[in-house]
Structure 1
Amino acid sequence: MTQKPKILIGPSSYGNVDPAPITLLREAGYEVVANDLKRRYTREELLDRLPGIVGLIAGLEPLDRPILETSELKALARVGSGMVNVDQSAAGELGIKVSNTPDGPTLAVAELTVGCLMNLLRETSAMDRSMRAGKWDKRTGRQLRDLTVTIVGFGRIGRKTGELLGALGVTIIAVDPMYREDVAGVAGMSLHDALSQSDAVSLHASGEEAILDAHAFASMKDGMYVLNPGRGGLVDYKCLFDALDSGKIAGVWADAHPEEPYKGALLNYDQALLTPHIGSYAREGRVKMEVDAAQNLIDDLKAAGI
């Protein structure tokens, strides 16, 4: 019996919401190798599992040149939009087809961002914790309307977040070198200028270099709110802790973390709202991303004759 080409699944939750993407891969004639650790693979774990694998459904695993060079991959399909974990130049040189699913997570991340900002403004989760501890602790929060929110990274998700917030009466400022002020009512500014006149900042940029560093925190007004559904490295955590301790930051939501699973000091702050990197984890968007990634991988492998 001819052995089927093998596809490795990277994201630990892939196919959990709906088996459709796994079924699609199997019906296309591939053997699906599940993520046996149920968490993100490390470099060493990925190296152990890649021999004999021709296709990879990728999450945020480190797919750098050394890993790609030692693999037998012919295609990899990223579940999501960000590609900073993939050395696309090396993949191109090695003949590895690379794809992503930029549209799937857009609305899910934008809606969650708006919801978490409202949570921080009204301290909903903090009061829930207080009540569970036996306290009747009424806190006076803030409304969204008439706030100014800076969105760093004004791509698909940043624009959708701005659209949702704008409909609720929020003034939006975009910080993005590619933004050409093509959205009515949304001004483009430098990070320093935007932060100095904003009530909150939401990070939707790619990369792992700190955007909110000491200089950025110094530019903020007191009582600022920080939202990070982007990447864990976008915030300098030492500066964040200092700003939380001083009261400059009134609240922070972190969905992306410097290391995951996150077990760091931000867990000790009552002003922090923490989620385990689930920005795209709305059923509709998640299924679309996973099915699109499966189809992208199938198309690229079939084009390679596999």
Structure 2
Amino acid sequence: MKSKKIFISTYPFGFYNSEPLEILQETGWEIFTNPLKRKLTPIEVSEFAKDVDGIIAGTEDLTPLIYKNENLKIISRVGIGLDSVPLKLCRERGIAVAYTPDAVTMAVVELTIGLMVSLTRKVLSAHQELKVGGWSRFTGKRLGESTIGIIGAGRVGLNVIRILSEFKPKIILINDLKAKEKEILEMLKGKNVNFKLVNKEEIYATSDIVSLHVPLTNKTRNLIGEKEFSTFSKDAFLINTARGGIVNESDLYNALKFNRIAGAAIDVFEQEPYKGNLIELDNIILTEHMGSCSYDCRLLMEKGSAEEVVRFFQGQSLLNPVPEEEYQNQIV
């Protein structure tokens, strides 16, 4: 087989476990890693990968690269989000796109549940106060006495619901584009958990916690902004471990600053690394797009993305090609 050039734009890769790199190196191909050891800008990606055959990518915007590199044959995403990959353009250029949809699920679920508890039990406030000599012993609300709204019942959303069911919330309100009642009933069978499929407006108006688990598409960009925040309870919390851009960050800042909602936990941002004014606020927990950052999850994602590139150039079928539904979501 003719030698291939593969660029790994995401960082880190193979840092905690070298197996993903070894999978690529065993092919004898030319393997290039991110030389700047940070998230690359779109222009940097397009320059470093201007003549490669394949790219293993994180969340870097790949549009400039696709216009610049006429030789690119495959994009293999380390992760599940596809807002950084222009799928329509890839299809026009004949570029295959693979991703690792199952690898990230439980790591994101665990972070989501942890953020729910941290917000409602005021863990961060207690931590900050104790460090300066205070001892208020903050009182918060258990998940078991809360109304929890879940927007998006895909891989992550369904597993958040499954884990939440063990806390026995007052009720779990669920909104999804697809009819998921049968699937949810089967998952919660025998758990004695109240749930209801509702529209988003009911979730905004009645939930103690609103947790987002939808992809970023033209339909979900700025899904929650000033209008939606005006219907939230002043005691409500918002959690976004899905994608930046789903929540309007400027409107979120105002909602938090003027106490229109009680607090938020945000793991994903429109521009990353995040440098915006949400860092000024005390009623928000900000994390570094780390939903997938567990050792096992990183290994599964990196190994899966490497194996897809090898499969592709060996003439085998991809294990996780991006499905048609994702292409249509970007086009709409």
Cα pair distance change 1:74/1:243, threshold 3 Å = same
Offset at residue 117 of structure 1 (A): 0.7
Query: Which residue number in structure 2 is paired with residue 197 of structure 1?
Result: 206
Query: Which residue number in structure 1 is paired with residue 120 of structure 2?
Result: 121
Query: Which residue number in structure 1 is paired with residue 308 of structure 2?
Result: 296
Q: What are the Cα deviations for residues 135-171 of structure 1, in whole angstroms up to 9, with x where unaligned? A: 2232111111031111111110111111111221122
Offset at residue 4 of structure 1 (A): 4.0
Residue aligned with 2:47, SS: helix
Q: Distance in 2 between matches of 1:46 and 1:199?
A: 41
Residue aligned with 1:53, SS: coil
TM-score normalised by structure 1 residue count: 0.93
Give the partner amino acid of 2:270.
P
Offset at residue 121 of structure 1 (A): 0.9
Offset at residue 227 of structure 1 (A): 0.5
Query: Which residue number in structure 2 is paired with residue 161 of structure 1?
Result: 160
Contact 2:61–2:85 under 8 Å retained in 1: yes
Offset at residue 3 of structure 1 (A): 8.6
Q: Distance in 1 between matches of 2:270 and 2:94?
A: 31
Q: Distance in 1 between matches of 2:195 and 2:284?
A: 28
1:250 aligns with 2:248: no
Residue aligned with 1:8, SS: strand
1:55 aligns with 2:54: yes
Offset at residue 70 of structure 1 (A): 2.1
Q: What are the Cα deviations for residues 235-259 of structure 1, in whole angstroms up to 9, with x where unaligned? A: 1122212221232321211100121
Q: What are the Cα deviations for residues 86-133 of structure 1, in whole angstroms up to 9, with x where unaligned? A: 122221222211100000000110011001110111111221122222
Offset at residue 68 of structure 1 (A): 1.2
Alignment of 1:130-209 (within 5 A): 130-170=129-169, 171-182=171-182, 183-184=184-185, 185-207=194-216, 209=221
Which shifted more, 171-180 or 277-286?
Answer: 171-180
Q: Distance in 2 between matches of 1:123 and 1:16?
A: 34
Contact 1:151–1:172 under 8 Å retained in 2: yes
Q: Distance in 2 between matches of 1:93 and 1:109?
A: 32
Q: Distance in 1 between matches of 2:296 and 2:270?
A: 27
Q: Distance in 2 between matches of 1:276 and 1:40?
A: 12
Query: Which residue number in structure 1 is paired with residue 42 of structure 2?
Result: 43
Q: Distance in 1 between matches of 2:122 and 2:237?
A: 12
Contact 2:43–2:65 under 8 Å retained in 1: no
